[in-house]
Amino acid sequence: MTPELLAQILSRTPGWAAQSTAAGLDDTAVTQILAETFKLAEETLTPLAARADAEGCRIDKGRVRTPEGYGAAYRALGDGGWLAADLPGDLGGLGLPLALHVAAALPMEGAALPFMMLPGSSRAAAFCLAANAPDLAAEWCPRLADGTWAATICISEPDAGSDVGRIRTKARPEGDGWRISGTKCWISFGDQDMTDRIGHLLLARTGDPAEGTRGLSLFLVPNVTGDGATNGIHVERIEEKLGLHGSPTCVLRFEDAAGTMIGAPGRGLPALFTMIERMRLQVGTQGAGVAASCARLARAYAQDRRQGGDPAAPAVPLTAHPDVDRQLLLMEARALLLAALVLDTACTLDAAKAGSDRAAALAPVLLPLAKTFGGELGQDNASAAIQVLGGAGYTREWPAERHFRDVRIATIYEGTTGMQAQDLVLRRLLKDNRALDAFADTVPDDRSVTPLLARFADLIGRLKVADTKARLYAADAVLRAAWCVQSAVLAVRLQGLSVQADRALNLWLSQCPAQMAQAEAGVDWALAQDR
């Protein structure tokens, strides 16, 4: 992936022409912006990621110490405006379209996914505050954008992960504010030494436990108060993990910590969704970045590494072997399709916020696809890179194994694959016809795609008369059928980028009917469970 190629993919994304014109951006400006983030990724973040993976994070005197160089790198992103480029200018951002922010972030996510966890949560928090708490936004957003402050998302607890309704952390009123007590886990960058202040956007119970999610409210809980005093937040431990060694995943204990309510009492989860939406898109961008990095790594290695051929002649590069060529093409197809998917999702989200009814119906279909298959295909490419590099790929001399460890989390956090599938099927595709109609409208009249759409629509029709249990069994298969259609749409859209890209995309398209058949088999099995 190059800045020029990514700019071409962006130029083919529906809705981008209008959004770029409204923002005063031409093709030259877009390419220049992307060239800067590619340079930052290559020169600053790539070497930082390797050091951070080896060094890791630690607790020293009750505070988390991040790897050497993190603070300087974070300030560099803040100084360049890259932390929240799509935040409005009056809140400290650059006012760029969401799709351009995603494109700019893609090479940085592919270079240093663990480090980029903090920019992701801080930017998402800024948008949450802007949407729900204007007074807090005026104070916090400019500092989140310039990198002097940072933010986390605090949802999970030891006995309440995806089951948010079982949260037990409590908030009690005190004067004009609130006091928060409880334990939160899986908090990325729950503490760090990179910024002057950390704001935790935290769900806590203000109602009765029997109310489930309706008894939860959202709070901003800073690690230090306005006068610089500590605020009753303690780091109990950092998790030891398969990957993300450069991202401290903390267990935090809150003891009468002072907090400010965001939004209305009992409406914490809807208020927080502004943040969750952006973080789910970030997960897709993480996968797209890793997929692109691994595809580039594998091809460079295969072009340089020489093995096989006529024993009487010099050994040939790995790219001369058809099976290696096939693997590289499939990796490049994944990278192209994921880049197109996250950009399409970003443009659709912006269009929905601008008032497009069609985009509002389509966005909830694209977002779970971006989140899920960004994670899956990013991991597929990391695994494939290890395979192409052979034994070298399995060693820490090369970054493929690090990418594989780091991106594995992407299908778990911010809502597991099963949760994404259930949301797509139960709340979108089977609720009414709006989402399916909007999705179908994106499909071109092309023989590579229209038969897939017909088969997908047939699956939805069969599930409409099924019971809930069968629908839940079938949700994963339907999610994969939807991706089969969407990936074919994207593959057709991207035809003509280059000869090599066309070879990669045609290989992908050749496999789509088989992918749809596998999804259909999954639905057949689900519908047979109650017979």
Q: So which residues are the catalytic ones?
A: 414
| Side-chain-facing half-sphere of 444: CA atoms under 13 Å | 13
* Range 68-100 burial, b when 16+ CB lie within 10 A, else e: ebbeebbbebbeebbbbbbbbeebbbbebbbbb
Centroid of chain to Cα 347: 15
Q: Locate 286 and state its tokens.
A: 């993480």
The three-class DSSP label of residue 475 is helix
The angle formed by the CA atoms of residues 69, 70 and 72, to the nearest 5 degrees, is: 70
Phi, psi of 354 (to 5 degrees): -85, -5
Q: Which of 144, 250, 252 is nearest to 199 (CA)?
A: 144
Taken in order 46, 48, 382, 406, is the CA torsion positive or negative? Answer: negative
Q: What is the dihedral of CA 499, 502, 507, 511, to 10 degrees?
A: -170
The angle formed by the CA atoms of residues 299, 32 and 84, to the nearest 5 degrees, is: 95
Q: Locate 523 and state its tokens.
A: 């639905």
DSSP notation for 290-338 = HHHHHHHHHHHHHHH-B--S-TTSPPPBGGGSHHHHHHHHHHHHHHHHH
The three-class DSSP label of residue 183 is strand
Q: Helix-strand-coil percent breakdown of the chain, rounded to 5?
A: 60, 15, 25
* Residue 286, C-beta contacts closer than 8 angstroms, at least 6 positions apart: 109, 113, 116, 374, 375, 378, 407, 410
* Residue 50, C-beta contacts closer than 8 angstroms, at least 6 positions apart: 399, 402
* Residue 417, C-beta contacts closer than 8 angstroms, at least 6 positions apart: 372, 375, 376, 411, 476, 479
Q: How many residues does the chain have?
A: 531
